[in-house]
Amino acid sequence: MYKINANYQKLPGSYLFSTIAKKVAAFQEANPEKEIIRLGIGDVTKPLSKSVIDALHKSVDEMADAATFRGYAPDLGYDFLRNAICENDYKKRGCDISPDEIFVSDGAKSDSGNIQELFAEDNKIAVCDPVYPVYVDSNVMSGRCGTYDMNSEKWSDIIYMPTTSENGFVPEFPKETPDIIYLCFPNNPTGTTITKSQLQEWVDYANKNGCVIIYDAAYEAYISEDDVAHSIYECEGARTCAIEIRSFSKNAGFTGVRLGFTVVPKDLKCGDVSLRDMWARRHGTKFNGAPYIIQRAGEAIYSEAGQREVREMVGYYMNNAKTIRSGLEEAGYEVYGGVNAPYIWLKTPNNMTSWEFFDYLLENANVVGTPGSGFGPSGEHYFRLTAFGTLENSEKALERIKKL
């Protein structure tokens, strides 16, 4: 008789955003007349830009003609896209990364979930708390996290690094040395970030202690301050300790288009074994490349026009962020983030729990946000709003919140 992977049974409840979706659907059904504003899930609302649309139409036409039709893509991505990424995201920032260290995928979520496969089951992971749930859940599914304690809302074998207003949202080096460290800056969910010199300290720590850093830089396009690194490879020594995961979702609005990439430098080795080669093997075995037309769409954002469009899109959302942030401040909330990231992280008023505030906001302002506690125990009493709505909705949401 076959047996299932028992680790799945350890996962408590369902995925955060499914729970929110159900609650919102129930509220809307009970209150069909209410106009709900969704500032919860980090999904973009602006349409794809002209360069991207043009590239999609053009490549679709290529697929209609036998002479230009493309079948299976190279497992690791087309050279035209890997070269464009290398040139624009790395070389231009002075990072020593080559195209064959760049692996194109169907998105940062897949890569974030799959990357743990490269590591032994008995590695110990460290995560910031609060944290993007995928890092934790994917490790739980692989049996790397021990058991879940309902009271503390923590896994016995995970090292949690609280990032709260108390430490300025800068994680401290943990007492116990981890094997794998997940870092995401600018951070989801807190919308805060750390400086380049603080990131350098983490790189030094990882190299000194034999750790791998999984660096999620999905929000790098939102960085507005000079002393923040856009890539971990801006730090000295990162090639021997860091994997970087990047996304096209938030800079180019590709949430429904699906494109991302992961960088695994050749210098990242465990003894003689190249993690780059392991990831290449994984890609070659369990993935069949991102669609040709979508890789062409990704390439388009690196043209001059494409880069201008990205700046415009990011600028639009960051203006929303400013609207939300300043509105909340006017309303007397304690607010973080929203300067280098499209997320605003607020402290709930009157010591409400995150879910209490979720219900309160949904019922009284008909605004959907994300409860901070859904991202980890240190997210309790915090709440996330995203800047990915329209300006009109962001303004309207804040008007409603100010009236509460």
> Site residues for its own copies, window 265-284 (CB under 8 A)?
270, 273, 275, 278, 281-282, 284
Site for its own copies in 104-143 (CB under 8 A): 106-107, 109-110, 113-114, 117-123, 133-134, 137-138, 141
What b/e string do you get for 318-350 counting C-beta neighbours within 10 Å, with b at 16 or more? Answer: bebbebbbebbeeeebebbbbbbbbbbbbbbee
Pick the binder of its own copies from 185, 292, 358, 375 (CB under 8 A). Answer: 292
Q: How many CB atoms lie within 10 A of CB 99?
A: 16
Does 36 participate in binding its own copies (rule CB under 8 A)? no
Per-residue binding letters, 147-176, with its own copies (x by CB under 8 A): ------------------------------
Tell me whether residue 68 or residue 326 sits nearer to its own copies (CB atom): 68
- Closest contact distance (angstroms) between CB of 128 and its own copies is 18
Phi, psi (rounded to 5 degrees) for 161: -115, 100
- Closest contact distance (angstroms) between CB of 301 and its own copies is 14
Site for its own copies in 306-365 (CB under 8 A): none
Q: Which stretch binds its own copies (CB under 8 A): 167-175, 203-211, 217-225, 334-342?
A: 203-211
- Closest contact distance (angstroms) between CB of 350 and its own copies is 33
Phi, psi (rounded to 5 degrees) for 345: -120, 115
- Closest contact distance (angstroms) between CB of 331 and its own copies is 28
Site for its own copies in 248-267 (CB under 8 A): 253, 255-258
Token pair in block for residue 351? 């010591």
Instruction: Please give the Cα distance from 386 to 321 (Å, whole number).
Output: 7
# residues contacting its own copies (CB under 8 A):
81
Instruction: Please give the Cα distance from 401 to 404 (Å, whole number).
Output: 5
Tell me whether residue 230 or residue 250 sits nearer to its own copies (CB atom): 250
- Closest contact distance (angstroms) between CB of 187 and its own copies is 19
Tell me whether residue 141 or residue 331 sits nearer to its own copies (CB atom): 141
DSSP 374: G
Instruction: Please give the Cα distance from 288 to 72 (Å, whole number).
Output: 7
The three-state DSSP-derived secondary structure of 188-256 is CCCCCCCCHHHHHHHHHHHHHHCCEEEEECCCHHHCCCCCCCCCHHHCCCHHHCEEEEEECCCCCCCCC
Site for its own copies in 1-20 (CB under 8 A): 1-6, 8-9, 11, 14-15, 18
Across the strands, what pairs with 154? Answer: 149
Tell me whether residue 289 or residue 374 sits nearer to its own copies (CB atom): 289
**Is 192 in contact with 341 (CB distance < 8 Å)?**
yes
Instruction: Please give the Cα distance from 157 to 137 (Å, whole number).
Output: 13
